[in-house]
Structure 1
Amino acid sequence: MTSKNGEMLHLRGNALKQGEPVALPLVQSSMYHLPGAPDGLPTYGRVDNPTWQHLEHVLAHLENAPCLTFPSGMAAISAALFATVKAGSRLLIPSDGYYVTRVLADRFLFNLGILVTERPTTTFADGGFDGFDVVFVESPSNPGMDMMDLPAIASAVRAAGGITIADNTTLTPLGQRPLDMGIDIVVASDTKAMGGHSDLLMGHVASRNAQIMERVEEWRKVSGAIPGPHEAWLLHRGLETLDVRFDRMCGSAQVLAERFAEHPAVGQIRYPGLPDDPSYTLAKAQTTRFGFLLSITLGSEEKAETFINTCPMLRPATSFGGVHSSAERRARWGDDVDPAFIRLSVGCEPLEELWKAIEGSLNAL
C-alpha cells in the first residue's frame, strides 16, 4: 500500500505544465465564466469545483474505484443510503455500530417507509440476507471492535439480490479494502484519520458500480450536500501524510494494547491485533493493519473519567484519528457499553512518551 500512496503523492505533479503550482490551488468561486453554450464546462459551485474534483481523483486512486466527496461522514452515509433505498425497501444495519447511522435509520428512513432491521456484529450473518435490499456493515464495529466476515457477507447478500455498503472509517483504505472483498459501496468519515488533524469535516463514497455512483452524484447535486473547497483542500493536504501517520498510529496502538493487557488497573482490553482478541482471526485475514483504535475498561465510571481527564497526552474529546491521542467514555453518548468503557484513539506522539503519560495516570487511579 505504501507504493500506491507514493504514486498518490505525484498524481498531480506528473500532470503539471511548466510554471504551474505544485501545491493544489484552492478555488473558492461559486460562479464560472460562461459565455455561450455551457456544454461540457464547469457551471456552478454546487456541481463543479476543481479543488474537490482533484481530491476525488486522489481518493479514487486510494480506493481503486470512482469516488465522490461529501461535507461529513454522515453526509456520505446518507448519500449512499438515499441512492439505494426507496419506500418499501428492507435495510439491515448493525445494532452496535456507529450510533448516528442507527439514528438516521430509525428517525428518518423508517418514516419514509423503509423497513429497518438491526443485528449485532458478532451474529450479523445469522438468519441470512434473503429479502434485504440493502445491507449496511461496519467492521470493526465502533466502538466495540468486533468484526464481520466481509467477503462471506458480500457474497451472500449479492446472491440474495441485495446491495452492501461498508463503513470503513476506522481502518481507511490503507488498513482494509472492502471493495476488493466484494462489498458494493464504501463510505467513510474523512474527518478522522484521512484528514488527521482534527480541523475539518469531510466524507466520501466509493463504488465500482457506475449506476450507483450516478445516483450518489445526483443525490449530491439536488440535496446540496457538497464539500467546501477549503475543507477539500485541507483533506488533500492531510492525505499526503496519511501513510506515515497511519503507520505510526497502528504501530503504537499494537504496543500500547499489549501493555494495557498487562496493567492491573485495566479490566478489559479490546484490540484486533492481540492474538486472544475475539476479532483477531478475522482481522488477520481481512486487514493489512490492525488499526489505531482500542478500548479499555477500568474499574468504575469515576476512574475512567479521572484517567481520561488527567492524562496529559490524551485529549478528552469525541471523534478519533487525529495526530493527538484522544479518549472518551462512549456510554455518555448512549452506546451499549460499560460506563467505564473507554475508546482510545492512538495518535502520533513518540511511543515511550505517550506510554509514560498513560502509565502514570493509570498508576494514580
Structure 2
Amino acid sequence: MSTQEHRNKSGFETRAIHAGYEPDPTTGAVIPPIYATSTYKQDGVGGLRGGYEYSRSANPTRTAFEGAIAALEEGERGFAFASGLAAEDTLIRALCRPGQHAVIPDDAYGGTFRLFDKVEKVWGLDHSPAAVSDPEAVRAAVRPGETKLVWVETPTNPLLNIADIEALASVAHEAGALLVVDNTFASPYLQQPLTLGADVVVHSTTKYVGGHSDVVGGALVVRDLELAEQITFHQNSMGAVAGPFDSFLAHRGLKTLAVRMDRHCDNAERLVAFLQAHPAVSQVIYPGLPEHPGHDVAARQMRRYGGMLSFRVAGGEAKALDVCARAEVFTLGESLGGVESLIEHPGRMTHASVAGTELEVPADLIRLSVGIESAEDLIADLERALS
C-alpha cells in the first residue's frame, strides 16, 4: 500500500491534512504550490507530463484539492468548480437531457431553485418540489421513466429539515434515478452521503470547506467511475473550473475543517439554549433539538448537528429585520460557513428568489451562521439585538 493509500484509509483529521498530495519530490514542499500556468510543455506530440496539457482540463493545484475532498467524502473522484452553482449546472448537463425530470427540495436553497426553475426548465428539464424529509412524498413526486435526479439538501437551507439519505437512495434507485446530496451545510466532517447510498455529493466550497469567506468555489464527488468520466468530459467542455489560487484556498480550508466544525457546533449549541429561553423568540430550528422532527435521522447519519440554526421571532417581519439590523458581532451578510458569525433575513436576502412560490420562507425567520468567536460575545450580541 502506498503512503497516499494509507493516508486515505486513516482518520478524518489525518486525511484532511495529507490526502490528495505528497510532498513535492524536487523541493520537499509540504503544501501544494499554486501552479499559475495555463499550458504545459509536452515531450513530443501527445507526450504529456502527468496528464497535463491545458489548465482548463487539469491543473496540479486543482488536482490536489480534488483528491483531498474525494478522500474526505469517501468517494472515488472529486471535481472543483468556479462556484457551487457552476458545479450544479455542470452535473445537471452531464446527467440529464431535455424532457427528463428532477425532484428538488420544497425548501431548497434559493440559488438552486432559480437554477432549476429559470435556467434548466427553459433548457427542457422539468422539476417537482417535494418534502425531502418524507421519503413517501419524494416517491410520490418521482415520475417513472422521466425522473433522472432526486436532489436533496440535508440539512436544508434555511429551514434545516433532515433527509434520510439511505431511504431516499432506495427511492431514487428503485425509479432508476440518481440521488444527489448537497452536503454544504453538514460538510464532509459531519456527514458522508456516499457511504449512505448517495451517488453524487455537491458542495459550495465557499462555505465550510473554504471556511474563511475568502474564496468562491464548488465541488462534486462521486463513487462511480463511469459517472466520473461523464462529469470529467462536461467539466472540461463547459469550462467553469476552479482556478489554481481558488483551489489552493479551498484545499487549505480542508486542513482545519475538523477543528473548525467542532467549534461551530459548540457555539451553535450554546446559542440554541439561549434562544430557546428568550421571550422574543417563538421557535428555534436546529436538528440537535430532541423535538426537531428530523432529530433521530440526524443523530444516525451525522457526527454532530452543525453550525447553522434558524429562529422565528414574535413580532413578524418587522421584528426580524430589526434584529438583523441591530446585531453587531454578527455580521449582516449572505453566505455561511466562515469563521465569522453571520446573520441574515432569508425572505429578503438568500431566498428572495422563491418569494411568491411554494418554496417561500416565513417572513419572521432569521438564519444564523454561527462562527468560532467567543460564545459569550455572540450571546450578548443577540441579547442586545433582541431587546
TM-score (norm 1): 0.94
- 1:347 maps to amino acid: G
Residues 44-73 of structure 1 show CA distances to partners (whole Å, capped at 9, x for unaligned) of 121121111111111111011111111111
Residue of structure 1 aligned with 2:85, choices 74, 77, 80? 74
Count of matched residue positions in the alignment of Structure 1 and Structure 2: 363
1:47-126 to structure 2, matched below 5 A, reads 47-65=57-75, 66-123=77-134, 125-126=136-137
Please name the residue that 2:180 is paired with.
165
> Which of residues 107, 128, 140 in structure 1 aligns to 2:155?
140
Cα distance in 2, alignment partners of residues 94 and 11 from structure 1: 32
Q: CA–CA distance in 2 between the matches of 1:45 and 1:149?
A: 38
Equivalent residue for 1:258, pick from 273, 279, 290:
273
* Matched position secondary structure for 1:44: coil
**Matched-pair contact (CA < 8 Å) for 2:310–2:365:** yes
The range that moved more, 130-139 or 270-279, is 130-139
Residue by residue over 1:163-208, the C-alpha shift from the partner in whole angstroms, topping out at 9 and shown as x without a partner, is 1111111001111111111011111101001101111101110111
Residue number in structure 1 paired with 2:229:
214
Residue 46 (structure 1) aligns with: 56
CA contact (8 A) 2:105 2:151 kept: yes
Once the two structures are TM-superposed, the CA of residue 11 in structure 1 deviates from its matched residue by 3.7
The residue number in structure 2 matching 1:305 is 321
Aligned to 2:136, the other structure's residue is in SS state coil
> For residues 203 and 109 of structure 1, what CA distance do their matches in structure 2 show?
18
Identity, % of aligned positions: 34
Tell whether 2:30 aligns with 1:22.
yes
CA distance in 2, matches of 1:159, 1:202: 33
RMSD, aligned α-carbons = 1.8
User: Among 309, 315, 331, which residue is 1:315 paired with?
Assistant: 331
Change in CA separation of 1:13 and 1:173 when aligned onto 2, cut-off 3 Å: closer
Q: C-alpha distance in 2, partners of 1:108/1:194?
A: 27
Asked if 2 retains the 8 angstrom alpha-carbon contact of 1:318 and 1:328, the reply is yes
- Partner SS state of residue 267, structure 1: strand
Report the CA distance between 1:95 and its aligned residue: 2.2
Superposed CA offset, 1:85-135 (max 9, x none): 012212111121112222111222222222322213344532163332211
In structure 1, the partner of 2:366 is 342
Check 1:159–1:13 CA distance in 2 against 1; reply closer, same or farther (3 A cut): closer
SS of corresponding position for 2:339:
coil
Unaligned runs of 5+ in 2: 1-8, 355-359
Match of 1:182 among 197, 205, 230: 197
1:83 aligned counterpart, secondary structure: helix
- Tell me the distance in 2 between the aligned counterparts of 1:305 and 1:2: 46
Residue number in structure 2 paired with 1:37? 45
Alignment match, 2:306: 291
Tell me, yes or no, if structure 1 residue 355 matches structure 2 residue 354: no
CA shift, 1:34, in A, is 2.3
Distance 1:187 1:9, change over 3 A: same
Note if 1:149 corresponds to 2:153: no
Tell me which moved more, 321-330 or 106-115.
106-115
Deviation digits for residues 248-299 of structure 1, max 9, x if unmatched? 0011111211221111111111000011112212211221110110001112
Q: Which amino acid aligns with 1:8?
A: A
Task: Give every structure 1 segment of 4 or more consecutive aligned residues whose post-TM-superposition deviation is greater than 4 Å.
Answer: 12-16
TM-score when normalising by structure 2: 0.89
Separation in structure 1 between the aligned mates of residue 153 and residue 34 of structure 2, nearest angstrom: 33
| 8 A Cα contact 1:164 1:185, kept in partner | yes
Q: Is 1:80–1:165's contact at 8 Å kept on the other side of the alignment?
A: no
Encode CA deviations 1:13-43: one digit per residue, 9 max, x unaligned: 7544374222221111102122522344311
Pick one of 252, 255, 263 that aligns with 1:237: 252
In the alignment, structure 1 residue 6 sits paired with structure 2 residue 30: no
Matched, 1:271 2:282: no
Whether contact under 8 Å (2:21, 2:32) holds in the other structure is: no
Give the Cα–Cα distance (whole angstroms) in 1 for the partners of residues 331 and 188 of structure 2.
Answer: 26
